[in-house]
């Protein structure tokens, strides 16, 4: 199972819509609220996540997330995890609108 498949298996379509509308930071991302959860997800799927974000947003986006985290690795991994989950949520919602 890759990172995208994991997100889709953990959250329902309604939850993904909520994540797309409100973001993970709002608390709607129930399985990835705490640092322990987001860090574990990041470390388990690091290659998938980093490749996806680099392809979609460019490596500069990752650099900016690191800077915004004030070079704190825990906060960086959390923010990258949330950015990935939100992107999957946006894609899923967009796919439903097109279908």
Distance from C-alpha of 63 to C-alpha of 11, rounded to nearest angstrom = 28
Give tens-digit pLDDT for 44-78: 999 999 999 999 999 999 999 999 999 899 999 99
Distance from C-alpha of 34 to C-alpha of 74, rounded to nearest angstrom = 11
Residue 99: pLDDT above 60? no
pLDDT of residue 97: 61
pLDDT of residue 94: 79
Instruction: For residues 72-85, give the mean pLDDT.
Output: 97
Q: How does DSSP classify residue 70?
A: T
Q: Where are the alpha helices (DSSP H) in 11-58?
A: 13-22, 35-44, 46-57
pLDDT of residue 3: 97
Cβ atoms 56, 17 nearer than 8 A: no
Residue found under tokens 């860090």: 39
Residue 4: pLDDT above 90? yes
């Amino acid at each position: 199972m890759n990172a995208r498949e994991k997100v889709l298996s953990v959250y329902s379509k309604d939850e993904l819509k909520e994540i797309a509308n409100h973001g993970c930071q709002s608390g709607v991302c129930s399985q990835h609220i705490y640092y322990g959860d987001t860090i574990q997800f990041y470390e388990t799927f690091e290659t998938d996540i980093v490749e996806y974000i680099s392809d979609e947003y460019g490596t500069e986006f990752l650099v900016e997330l690191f800077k915004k985290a004030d070079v704190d690795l825990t906060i960086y991994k959390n923010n990258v995890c949330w950015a990935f989950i939100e992107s999957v949520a946006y894609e899923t919602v967009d796919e439903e609108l097109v279908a």
